[in-house]
Amino acid sequence: LDWTARHAKEVLRNFYRTGFNSWQKGLNEKPRAYVIPSGQADPVRVAAMVDRLIDQRIEVGRLTAPLAVDEGLFPAGSFIVKLDQPYRNYAADLLEPQRFPPDADRLPYDDVSWALPVGFGVQAVRVDDERGARAAAEPVLRAEAPAGRVEGEGACFALRDAGQESLLAARFRLARFRLQVAEARFTAGGVEYPAGSWILPRQQGLREALREVAREFALDFTALPEVPSVGAHDAPAPRLGVWVPWADTDAMGWIRYTLDREQVPYTYLRDEDVRAGRLRDRVDVIVYGPFARLDLAGQTHGIHAASGPLAFKATPGFPSLGKPVASDDITGGPGYVGLEALRRFVDEGGVLLTLGAGSALPLEGGLVPGVRRAATRDVFTPGSELRVTFDRPDHPIAYGYGTESSVFRTNLPVYDRPRRWLAMAYCTSCLDGPLDSRPVVASWGGTGGMVVSGGMRGEADLRGRPAILDLPLGRGRVVAYNFSPIHRDMNRSDYRLLWNAILNWAWHPDGV
């Protein structure tokens, strides 16, 4: 600060030169622009990404006429980022996938993919054609998604699942109404509805509520003359719990931030609440993880009890402590008592969703059998967007996705495919029964190379291993993610993989 104050004119001049040089680069080099086409499946997510660019002082326009370039024909109303602007280099960095060679001597350790279109699941087309720089466009100061529609009269309303991120928030806005989720594709009124589409029987006050939801989330509801003849399951809004261990609160802060922003209600669960048991009386679904610093022992025992008692509560000197929750002693973690309470919660019909490193708790802590950590140590994924393939594309977690997708994976343990449990306890090797493919919802890898953006090592060792597991236990189940579907509000295209598990919590893979 002192140096800047003494060299203010030089700093200002250098800033000007940087912007000038970037503008010149945009005039004379490729690419000329990026086009974000209109008509994409989730206009809310498109608007959110465009606003993220604008927040970074990147200039964004909207086409006032169709644009024909070598890369395609784009309709009027599409967003365009022309690169003859001071933040040209930043715009290109955010809109292009990152490519780190796997044989580099030093691969960066943290979040080597930050491409917004990949993370948001939004199409952004690079335009090298010079006509892109001359496209007729008006500046955009804020992107707004178009309001949705509620149309027709009939026996029910249907919502086509096109992968919209806002379905979880919409479900809680409509919590008092009965909702069914189609388990297969169906056609009505000449429109094809994929699996995962919503069917809402006619109910008092429903149309008015749908109008509000359609306006807020750009969702289109269409009345059908009769309820479709398709397999479907009820999807009641769950009592959602978010377990925030005292030993690592910041990772769970991103989960809370996202749910709070979407106004999704949840119960804040502490280690004390887990130890107290009777979780099924309070919540239907528990979200747990991810963590950057907690191994299995840390997740089980938390802050070492020898450090306690350690209070977290307001005092005259520190009145802001103890919010949103307080405790007389934050040491000890859930302990083995808490693990048994979790097992009982799932056995009684609850759903435990574990994210990233949090999946070590059920997979290695003994809550579910048959899954072991892989012996490989060659896999290194320092925050990259990687391809996954759905082994069970008809599974509710896959609703809104194709047979392949990509997700954001940080450096985490790798697990082998589950094996069926054998009742032979006299030797360890005898417990390795045949592979059980039923719990595997998605596996790492897909068509072509695994890296979509970023970089990794050990692709061959990761390919084919489970990315999402759905493991029945009693009347409930554990869904273990080998990545975090919510990472620093960057990987918005992954949110539905978590939302789907919450929305369809009452569905059971064995029909229980």
Give the mean model confidence (pLDDT) for residues 501-512.
86
Share of the chain above pLDDT 70, in %: 97
Give the whole-angstrom CA distance, residue 36 versus residue 117.
Answer: 9
Inter-residue contact 196 to 231 (CB < 8 Å): no
3-state SS, residue 380: strand
pTM for the full predicted model: 0.95
Residue 423 pLDDT exceeds 60: no
pLDDT interval class at 116 (50, 70, 90): very high
Give the mean model confidence (pLDDT) for residues 255-269.
97
pLDDT interval class at 512 (50, 70, 90): low
Q: In what order do the strands lie in the sheet with 137-139?
A: 125-127, 33-36, 79-82, 61-63, 137-139
| In 77-231, beta strands by DSSP E | 79-82, 125-127, 137-139, 150-151, 156-159, 180-182, 186-188, 191-193, 198-201, 221-224
Q: What pLDDT does 377 receive?
A: 84
Residues in the chain: 512
Phi-psi region of 437 (alpha: psi -120 to 50; beta: other; left: phi over 0): alpha
- With vertex at residue 128, the alpha carbon angle to CA 387 and CA 93, rounded to the nearest 5 degrees, is 50
Kind and range of the H or E run holding 344: helix 335-347
Q: What pLDDT does 306 receive?
A: 86
Q: Give the residue with greater pLDDT, 367 vs 106.
A: 367
Inter-residue contact 418 to 370 (CB < 8 Å): yes
Give the mean model confidence (pLDDT) for residues 420-432.
57
Residue linked to tokens 């994924």: 381
Retrieve residue 251's tokens: 């990772």
Q: pLDDT by residue (tens digit) across 128-141?
A: 999 999 999 999 99
Q: How many CB atoms lie within 10 A of CB 321?
A: 12
pLDDT interval class at 308 (50, 70, 90): confident
